[in-house]
């Protein structure tokens, strides 16, 4: 029989902000390893590539519309292009923190360089990618445990209730 953890305002979540489809990103295996944790989910960017001004404007609306099965406590940013969404999620979730894994060996376009600087300044921790493409994420996993995202308790996602349904 599974026990559920005491719930306060929803289950704590880890949210991966991916720079593209999971199958197409350089750190796919790292992301998949984190996604094997029940309270971790991933957000892929919109299919259309938006200009910086549009990206920043739509990120706030996108963060407001997201219906997550809990409350984000830790965001993992894989590319500076997703920083506007990370910032919007941080504004909506005051107790969330940002961890950043900058793209190693990949070129970052000029507008994204500014997001890279902002992400490094805002991040609780910046993790480096080794030459072989691995990430030393022991500190990240420890923090996920501290926040209750890695937990021995069963994951019971919050479900939005619809009128007339139980």
pLDDT per residue over 126-158, tens digit each? Answer: 999 998 889 999 999 999 999 999 999 888 886
CATH architecture of 15-146: 3-Layer(aba) Sandwich (3.40)
Asked if 52 and 81 touch (Cβ cutoff 8 Å), the reply is: no
Q: What pLDDT, on a 0 to 100 scale, did the predictor assign at position 157?
A: 82
- pTM exceeding the 0.75 threshold for the entire prediction: yes
Asked if 136 and 127 touch (Cβ cutoff 8 Å), the reply is: yes
C-alpha closest to that of 123 among 81, 150, 86, 92: 86
Q: What pLDDT, on a 0 to 100 scale, did the predictor assign at position 6?
A: 44
Domain boundaries, given as residue ranges, for the chain:
15-146
Tens-digit pLDDT profile for the chain (166 aa)?
A: 444 444 457 899 999 999 999 999 999 999 999 999 999 999 998 765 555 555 556 777 778 788 899 999 999 999 999 999 999 999 999 999 999 999 876 667 777 889 999 999 999 999 999 988 899 999 999 999 999 999 998 888 865 545 544 4
Distance (Å, whole) CA 53 – CA 48: 14
Query: Hey, CA dihedral for 106, 63, 34, 8, is it positive or negative?
Result: positive
The DSSP H or E segment spanning 34 is helix 28-35
């Amino acid at each position: 029989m599974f026990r559920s953890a005491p719930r306060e305002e929803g289950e704590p979540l880890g949210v991966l902000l991916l720079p593209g489809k999971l199958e197409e990103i350089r750190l796919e295996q790292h992301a998949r390893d984190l996604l094997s944790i029940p309270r971790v989910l991933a957000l892929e960017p919109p299919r259309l590539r938006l200009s910086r001004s549009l990206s920043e404007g739509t990120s706030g609306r996108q963060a407001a519309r997201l219906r997550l099965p809990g409350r984000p406590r830790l965001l993992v940013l894989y590319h500076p292009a997703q920083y506007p969404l990370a910032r919007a999620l941080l504004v909506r979730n005051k107790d969330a923190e940002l961890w950043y894994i900058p793209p190693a060996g990949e070129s970052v376009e000029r507008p994204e360089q500014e997001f890279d600087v902002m992400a490094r300044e805002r991040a609780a921790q910046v993790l480096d990618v080794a030459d072989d493409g691995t990430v030393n994420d022991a500190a990240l996993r420890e923090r996920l445990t501290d926040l209750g995202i890695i937990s021995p308790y069963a994951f019971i996602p919050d479900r939005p209730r619809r009128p007339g349904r139980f």
